[in-house]
Structure 1
Amino acid sequence: MPEVSVDQIRERLQMFEARRKHYEWKSENTEGKLRRHEMWRHEYLADPYLTGAPDERVAERFKNIFMNVMELNQEGKLGPLMAFESDDGFMRKFTHMLEAYNGAIPTEIVQEARTPFAKYFENDGPIAKRMFDGYEKPTGPILVKYGRREFLEEMLQHGRMRIAHAKLYHNDDFLDSVKDDETSRYFFIPTYRERLKGEFGMEFQGHWIEYGNDDIAIPVVFPDYFVISLCDHIYYRMPTDFDADAALIIREPARFTQRVISQFLAQWPEWEPSAAPITYYDPYRDYSKIKAPEMCKHFGYSYQREFRIAFRSKQRIQTELEPRFISIDTMADYADLVTV
């Protein structure tokens, strides 16, 4: 990645400083009544954390945010995610990006961000619209497993499930929405202030870290584990994302989760289970969010709203893991299978 020079940092900060003062003047002269987006703009200008990041990383961040501010509704139409009152996190990030780009996001980056949405309208439109047409959604809590019909039918009738290990998903042959490095997480610490002072490295735990003209990248690497991924509701982008022609709607999430955990531990008691919604973290903002790394993912995947059942070993893993199979008996009395 091309690096950001000290001169570029200095030039950017001069622009940010002028705009920051503008919003502070406006706040003082309007009795503090800045609009929400103006408060977010001032927030970024007071701490422009992306100032020293390489352009490619900033562009990738914008594309990740764009993926999460758009939603596909049950009519098969794409539009802005409207739940801003209850969750404005991504609009806040989006506004930060506008300031990082000085109000004008390059056209080619916007086009690249839009491109992945075209897949939802291939082959006669969103597959989810056909899949869920006529299905009466449960009113209570549910879990949804998207996949191929032949596997979900077996899961429904016999409770037979394949449980993959996390490293399996680090595969370039997988779809972008599925592929992920599930055994490492990266965080970035901004260094633009230090670089302005002529500092390009730091001592950390007795070691000298040279960061040069970039931010500090901190990897969190952890052992392989087993994982079952579901969604916490019906979302119309998911069938396309997971190349699914069917969905299993589980109407009793607690019952399902308990059965999965008990059956797994009955065969492999040396593993420790976790079951919860995924925590999505921002690599530039959420340094303290990772408590259990196997239950966290990059915020770029937030739109998937994953609920995860994971098993991590209580002992050191000595060999490469392979997928395992369990059977939790029929699910026909508490799950529905919908297909295209």
Structure 2
Amino acid sequence: MYCKNWIVTWLIRELDLKNFTLGDAIKHYLQSSRYLSSMPDNALSERLVHLLNNCLRLDHESMVQLCIKEQPNMFKRIFDVFAETALRHGSVSSGQYKNPWDTTKNVMIKPSKEVAEKIKVLKGHICDESQKLLLRFSSYQFMDELINDGGLFLQSASAYKMQENISIKDDELKLTLTRYLSKSDAEDAAKILRGLSGISYMKSLEYTVTSPDYLVLCLTDAINYRMIADWNAEAAVIIHNPDEFYKRLTHTTKDLRRNKMKLECGNVRYVDPYFDSYAIKAEDLPFCKSFKFAYQSEYRFVIRNSENLSNQDRKLFLGPLTDIATLVDLR
């Protein structure tokens, strides 16, 4: 088995994996019971897209970098995909992964001189990257209203399904997790199912969770310069005091949260069906998404039981945020 794929070579070099080879990746992967063995080639290719997408970011000069510290587990999973490909086809060639790589590098991440300039401006307003911050990216008009009036709009989660931007588009009310079973797992499942329903073989497990619609305000707690490119941002608001922001949002929405409406906040959990539990309930869904969005490190404010709120009710004004936040003009 051999490798003529420059992506593999590049990852090994960038990760400083001295003397590491594709053979080593295969050896480690087989110790995991070859868990991807039943996954179709197209699904395996799609998995690689999502894993690579989570491992790439833009540095302050708009150069593509690996998120080595932020996503350590993703790299092992990438090499598991390469190992499974080599076991199937005898090699990992550039042609096999040309389309996923082009999709990831050229569509989901767009380095440019314009983005580089925006990154430099934003970086100049962040003195300590270890500080607890929340960031929001959008048009200058919306960010100017947010900083000066505390103006924001609580979006219906269902609206994100209609977005054209692939960095945003998602069915927020439905999460389907598909796990293709390895040979040993399929045999174990068949033993159980044969006794219950006469089924003698099961190739995959599919688990779907749905949720009623809810209102959501999406921010990020990671200083990820990719967001500028993903959102084509004209401006950003950096919230330096997230706790105070939450207090003001709580105060402003107190009248809305009658009739069992509830304001919640927290980090989104990104779910990989091969490494995360299936114990996700409908009430968990506002804070659960597919692992393909993990690089966004989203922090959310959610209001449930909000079906009867009008668009006018969903437009909020917290008051000026200039004492706890900074507006960064990226135009």
Q: Is 2:50 the counterpart of 1:50?
A: no
2:298 corresponds, among 297, 301, 306, to 306
- What is the match of residue 276 of structure 2? 286
TM-fit CA distance, 1:157: 0.5
Corresponding residue for residue 81 of structure 2: 97
Segments of structure 2 that go 5 or more residues without pairing to the other structure are: 2-18
d(CA) in 2 for partners of 1:234, 1:88: 17
Q: TM-score, normalised by structure 2?
A: 0.78
Aligned-pair CA distance for 1:311:
1.8
Whole-Å separation in 2 of the counterparts to 1:137 and 1:181: 36
Q: Does residue 1:187 correspond to 2:187, yes or no?
A: no
SS in 2 for 1:104: strand
Q: What is the Cα deviation at residue 261 of structure 1?
A: 2.8
Deviation at 1:189, TM superposition (A): 3.5
Corresponding residue of 2:6: none
Listed one character per residue, the Cα deviations across residues 244-292 of structure 1 (whole Å, up to 9, x for unaligned) are: 1110000101111222233223223222222111111102221246362
Taking a change above 3 Å as real, the CA distance of residues 244 and 45 of structure 1, as seen in their structure-2 partners, is: same
The structure with the largest helix share of the pair is 2
Separation in 1 of the partners of 2:326 and 2:208?
Answer: 41
* Distance in structure 2 (CA, Å) of the matches to 1:141 and 1:218: 35
Map 1:14-25; keep pairs closer than 5 Å. none
Q: Judging changes above 3 Å, is the alpha-carbon distance between structure 1 residues 278 and 189 closer, same or farther for their aligned structure 2 residues? A: same
Tell me which residue corresponds to 1:142.
Answer: 133
Report the AA paired with residue 246 of structure 2.
Answer: T
| Alpha-carbon distance between aligned partners in 2 of 1:202 and 1:261, rounded to the nearest angstrom | 49
- The amino acid across from 1:280 in the alignment is Y
In the alignment, does 2:63 pair up with 1:74? no
Deviations 1:129-181, CA, capped at 9 Å, x for gaps = 2542633435621100010110110111011110101111011x421001011
Does the residue aligned with 1:117 lie in a helix, a strand or coil?
helix
- In structure 1, runs of 5+ residues without a counterpart are 1-14, 16-33
- Letter of the 1:96 counterpart: D
CA distance in 2, matches of 1:101, 1:263: 53
* Secondary structure of the corresponding residue to residue 247 of structure 2: helix
> CA contact under 8 A between 1:128 and 1:237: conserved in structure 2?
no
Contact 1:201 / 1:211 at 8 angstroms: preserved in 2? no
Counterpart in 2 of 1:166? 157
Contact 2:161–2:172 at 8 Å: present in 1 too? yes
Q: For residues 211 and 113 of structure 1, do their structure 2 counterparts lie closer, same or farther at Cα, with a shift above 3 Å needed?
A: farther
Residue equivalent to 2:245: 256
Contact 1:232 1:307 in 2 (8 A): yes
Provide the TM-score with structure 1 as the length reference: 0.76
Letter in 2 for 1:141: K
Deviation (angstroms), 1:234:
2.4
Relative to 1, partners in 2 of residues 1:284 and 1:197: Cα closer, same or farther, differing over 3 Å?
closer
Trace 1:310-321 onto structure 2 (pairs within 5 A).
Answer: 310-313=302-305
Distance 2:75 2:279 in 1: 20
Over the aligned positions, Cα root-mean-square deviation in angstroms equals 3.5
Task: Give identity over the alignment, percent.
Answer: 22
